[in-house]
Amino acid sequence: MLKVLKFGGSSLADARQFAKVKSIVEADPARRVVIVSAPGKRFSGDHKITDLLYLCAAHIKYGVSCEDIFAMIRDRYNEIIAECGLHISLDKEFDALWDKMKNGISQDELASRGEYFSARLMAEYLGYEFVDAARWIKFKFDGTVDQDASYAALRSLAEDRKVVIPGFYGVMPDGHIRTFSRGGSDVSGAIVARAAYADLYENWTDVSGFLMADPHVVPEARTIRSITYRELRELSYMGATVLHEDSVFPVHRAGIPTNIRNTNAPSERGTMITHGSVEEKNPYVITGIAGKLGFSVISVEKAMMNSEHGFGRRVLQAVEENGLSFEHLPTGIDTLCVVLSTAELAPVRERVVKRIMELTEPDSVTIHDNMGIIATVGRGMIHNPGTAARLFTALSREHVNVRMIDQGSSELSILVGVDSIDFQPAIRAIYHEFVGGAEQR
């Protein structure tokens, strides 16, 4: 049994957090491979090490001294060393880094040092080996990861060992350090889990898993116990902030489950993300609700439209020619609606309408703005006839005017478009219908 663990920045913010990580790792002998982020904020208003490093890079770019910021970074690590009682000194490496910064260092290399130093300390603290990500995460020149080469390299470095690996970066074919986009340690962790044939990828953060709805809208939202990768994709597409997008792919493809856990509450089970058939059933018909505001609907009406060949293609041609991508495409008998982002539409609004008119000669083209789209996601809905009826009944009870309905044939989600003003009440109504708790309001 092998578990690969990734700890986010808040789990490494200071010596206290380091101690929690140690006890989590030591609680289970299967936890042999650990990926770490750079130390994050210790309290609100504090700085993440990565942000400070980017700040240094910006100072260097404009020829301004960043000595003070660099000293802050150094102090943070030294504090952890002292408080954890580590017998290690990073002084020489910090001096060398400072020299390099004076003589020119790339932004990526500088930003990557946050994870590098964090991993050095954690390896020392746990008594694990340190394996530098620069030795095995291999980027191609186009900036994507060379998966096979990286997997093979890691296997030769870490097989059957207890290791700590810095997240967030790898190496280009020419030897330069390259980072992922922000939050990229999630991706490193997923690649490690995949390379090491892990039985489980544990992603340790500061929340006990994903919530069924945005807590700003539904304060009593419960934690999702289990979710499939496909459901997760639907929820994150619709705006639920979850994992780094690219971190799902490697583990999903390999059938490795991901468990989101809370470093500050390790006894909680968190959310389990699985590949397909889930052993653990969810207690509710729905898995989660997510939504986004800021959509517009272009409705194109034309009598007998549905018997006209190529009508839809021509409408979409007008959309495509203006560099827009659409989100949804609900159709009626004589209407076709294109749902897209209001912000993207704004600069080309008139041009799109004009082009649709030219190409399709419709009876009317109207644009309706200020729409929010809500996705109710749940694999359980497939086997539960009447789910849609319950959902719409709940919405009508709250007097929510549904402007658009879209249910993919996968039956994994039901999408409804509502006016912005109805957005939050609609999410609450759906939540309370399927999960309960309306009486707590």
Alpha helices, DSSP H, located in 367-422: 387-397
Of 196, 187, 191, 126, the C-alpha closest to 158 is 196
Work out whether 372 is an interface residue with ligand ASP (CB under 6 A).
Answer: no
State which of residues 170, 183, 330, 372 lies at the interface with ligand ASP (CB under 6 A): 183
Q: Which stretch binds ligand ASP (CB under 6 A): 123-131, 140-148, 178-186, 392-400?
A: 178-186
Rounded Cα distance, 154 and 162, in Å: 13
Residue with the shortest CB distance to ligand ASP: 185
Work out whether 114 is an interface residue with ligand ASP (CB under 6 A).
Answer: yes
Write the DSSP string, 5-24.
EEE-GGGGSSHHHHHHHHHH
State which of residues 77, 117, 151, 168 lies at the interface with ligand ASP (CB under 6 A): 168
Work out whether 185 is an interface residue with ligand ASP (CB under 6 A).
Answer: yes
Question: Which residue bears the tokens 């101690």?
Answer: 19
SS3 412: coil
Q: How far apart are the first and last CA of the chain?
A: 45
Return the H-helix or E-strand segment holding 92: helix 91-103
Question: Least distance to ligand ASP from the beta carbon of 189, Å?
Answer: 9
Work out whether 270 is an interface residue with ligand ASP (CB under 6 A).
Answer: no
Nearer to ligand ASP, 13 or 101 (CB): 13
Tokens at residue 113, please? 């040092």
Work out whether 10 is an interface residue with ligand ASP (CB under 6 A).
Answer: no
Going by the DSSP 8-state scheme, the letter that residue 306 receives in this structure is G
Work out whether 39 is an interface residue with ligand ASP (CB under 6 A).
Answer: no
Q: Which stretch binds ligand ASP (CB under 6 A): 56-64, 184-192, 197-205, 403-411?
A: 184-192
Question: Which residue bears the tokens 């021509």?
Answer: 314
Tokens at residue 59, please? 């100072």
Question: Least distance to ligand ASP from the beta carbon of 180, Å?
Answer: 7
Of 230, 382, 223, the C-alpha closest to 288 is 223
Q: Which stretch binds ligand ASP (CB under 6 A): 180-188, 260-268, 297-305, 312-320?
A: 180-188
C-alpha neighbours within 13 Å on the C-beta side of residue 396: 6
State which of residues 10, 37, 263, 413 lies at the interface with ligand ASP (CB under 6 A): 37
State which of residues 166, 170, 184, 380 lies at the interface with ligand ASP (CB under 6 A): 184
Which parts of this chain interact with ligand ASP (CB under 6 A)?
Answer: 8-9, 37-38, 48, 50, 114, 167-168, 182-186
